[in-house]
Copies of this chain bind each other. A is one copy, B any other.
Amino acid sequence: MNNYRLELCYDGTRYNGWQKLGSTGNTIQNKIETVLSRILEQPVEVSASGRTDAGVHAKMQVCSFKTDSEKSCEEILEELRKYLPADIGAINLLPAEPGFHARYNCTGKKYIYRIWTSPLPNVFERNYVYTYTDQLNVEDMRKAAEMLCGKHDFSGFTSLKKSKKSTVRTIREIAIDEYPEEIRITACGDGFLYNMVRIIVGTLIEIGNGKRPPDSIEEMLNSGVRANAGFTAPAKGLCLAEIYY
């Protein structure tokens, strides 16, 4: 069996996420496996760098799969581009080392969250931004973001119930960039728990609007209680942007 690395992008609007546990429903993984299996004329299972929630987008998602098909990468890529729906794009397909696995080998990810801050509606990007027009104090948000960086137990920043798996992650950087009609939050880290980026963004918004002080982050991290953090920001503003190996 040959091993492959497939680079994808997608508009997550109409999907039930990358993969829904136990589901054979309308997920991006199902769509890709169905198309790949037809192209390669054999059942194919793909492993992504990680799941994305329903409605979350990806400028870059990496997955790996094995096949003994003799089709070339160029042929497979061309057919993928032909048969995938218009909201899933095959960026590249490359031969991978036998041991390469998109999830196990992933060393980090970058996510971008777009907050549209103007009352002027963003008609053309409406599925890719979260509109929030109340005043936000970006300096306070930056102070809080700084406190989130580093290695912490983020059990207060996930919607998943307690399990034996580690909830310790390292956030390398959270950048908050201001544009005339937008605030963009870029988070880089070695990995993110379920809903973690969206809860971080919701918490930063509640700090930016004055509902919480920036230094409340410390208590959120220490308590490990989900209810102490902010709301889960809507999926549509979130986009997986880079995968590091």
- Which A residues contact B (CB, under 8 angstroms)? 9-11, 57, 59, 81, 84, 86-91, 119-124, 126, 128
Instruction: Tell me the complex Cα distance, A90–B119, Å.
Output: 10
Shortest 9 CB-CB contacts between residues of A and residues of B: A89-B121, A89-B123, A86-B126, A9-B123, A11-B123, A87-B123, A11-B124, A81-B121, A10-B123
Instruction: Tell me the complex Cα distance, A201–B145, Å.
Output: 48
Chain B residues in 8 Å Cβ range of A9: 121, 123-124
Instruction: Tell me the complex Cα distance, A128–B128, Å.
Output: 15
Main secondary structure of the interface of A (DSSP, over half): loop
Shortest beta-carbon distance from A163 to chain B in Å: 33
- Among residues of B, the one whose C-beta sits closest to the C-beta of A9 is B123
Instruction: Tell me the complex Cα distance, A190–B25, Å.
Output: 52
Chain B residues in 8 Å Cβ range of A124: 9, 11, 57, 59, 128
Q: Could you give 14 example pairs across A and B, Cβ below 8 Å?
A: A9-B123, A9-B124, A10-B123, A11-B126, A57-B124, A84-B121, A86-B121, A86-B123, A87-B123, A88-B123, A89-B121, A89-B122, A90-B121, A91-B120
- Among residues of B, the one whose C-beta sits closest to the C-beta of A78 is B119
- Among residues of B, the one whose C-beta sits closest to the C-beta of A88 is B123
Instruction: Tell me the complex Cα distance, A123–B11, Å.
Output: 6
Shortest beta-carbon distance from A137 to chain B in Å: 24
Chain B residues in 8 Å Cβ range of A59: 124
- Among residues of B, the one whose C-beta sits closest to the C-beta of A124 is B11
Shortest beta-carbon distance from A7 to chain B in Å: 10
Instruction: Tell me the complex Cα distance, A50–B90, Å.
Output: 39
Chain B residues in 8 Å Cβ range of A122: 89
Shortest beta-carbon distance from A64 to chain B in Å: 20
Shortest beta-carbon distance from A190 to chain B in Å: 27
